[in-house]
């Protein structure tokens, strides 16, 4: 697994910081206007900025383990409509800096494969999700080995106590990805 540091964060922000899957996945979702969202591995904050247009009364929390990535996300969010409802926190999937049962939605957009311990991260997602809350996973379908990685992720989610309730394969704007929706069992 690649080491994420300030240099990697800069590279990622330049190359993938506004990757279309963030917007395209959100366009497929019915987002409650008052939801609290936790985005694990938020990167540049792109998904949260897109979500802020529809979640107009809720709060959006981006979590990333790389200090420079958090700085980039804050920089890109300054002056953005809804920026007063977007907060960025340094942290990892395995120890989410979020309250128990506080989130209606947890996003893992192209991040779950980067978690150090997927099972521990999913236990944290269960802790943070409010009753009835959902985990939304986006996985790039064009990455080599994506189908195998997706099967492994589904098996781990099932083992930890999540049920797959919807899966859509989407292709637009030159990207192909899978959007999966899970709920706690």
Task: Provide the sign of the torsion angle of the four alpha carbons 154, 160, 164, 170, taken in this order.
Answer: negative
Residue 151 pLDDT: 77
* Residue 21 reports pLDDT greater than 90: yes
Q: What is the pLDDT of residues 39-91, one digit of tens each?
A: 999 999 999 999 999 999 999 999 999 999 999 999 999 999 999 999 999 99
* Domain 6-184, classified CATH 3.40.50.150, yes or no: yes
> Contact at 8 Å (CB) between 136 and 105?
yes
Residue 4 pLDDT: 85
Residue 1 pLDDT: 44
Residue 163 pLDDT: 94
Q: Is the pTM of this model over 0.85?
A: yes
* Residue 11 reports pLDDT greater than 70: yes
Domain boundaries, the chain: 6-184
Residue 49: partners with Cβ closer than 8 Å, 6 or more residues away: 76, 77, 80, 82, 86
Residue 64 pLDDT: 98
Residue 155 pLDDT: 86
Q: What is the pLDDT of residues 104-157, one digit of tens each?
A: 999 999 999 889 999 999 999 999 999 999 999 998 875 556 667 777 888 889
The CB density around residue 158, as the number of other CB atoms within 10 Å, is 13
Q: Which of 58-62, 97-101, 157-161 has the lowest mean pLDDT?
A: 157-161
């Amino acid at each position: 697994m690649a080491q994420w540091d300030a240099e990697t964060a800069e590279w990622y922000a330049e190359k993938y910081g506004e990757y279309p899957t963030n917007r395209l996945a959100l366009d497929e979702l019915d987002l409650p206007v008052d939801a609290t969202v936790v985005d694990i591995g938020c990167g540049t904050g792109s998904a949260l900025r897109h979500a802020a247009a529809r979640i107009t009364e809720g709060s959006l929390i981006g979590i990333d383990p790389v200090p420079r990535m958090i700085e980039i996300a804050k920089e890109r969010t300054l002056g953005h409509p809804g920026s007063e409802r977007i907060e960025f926190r340094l942290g990892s999937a395995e120890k989410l800096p979020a309250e128990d049962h506080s989130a209606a939605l947890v996003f893992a957009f192209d991040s779950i494969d980067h978690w150090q311990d997927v099972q521990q991260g999913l236990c944290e997602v269960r802790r943070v999700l409010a009753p009835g809350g959902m985990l939304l996973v986006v996985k790039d379908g064009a990455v080599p080995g994506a189908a195998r990685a997706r099967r492994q992720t589904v098996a781990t989610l099932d083992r930890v106590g999540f049920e797959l309730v919807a899966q859509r394969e989407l292709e637009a704007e030159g990207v192909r990805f899978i959007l999966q929706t899970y709920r706690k069992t």
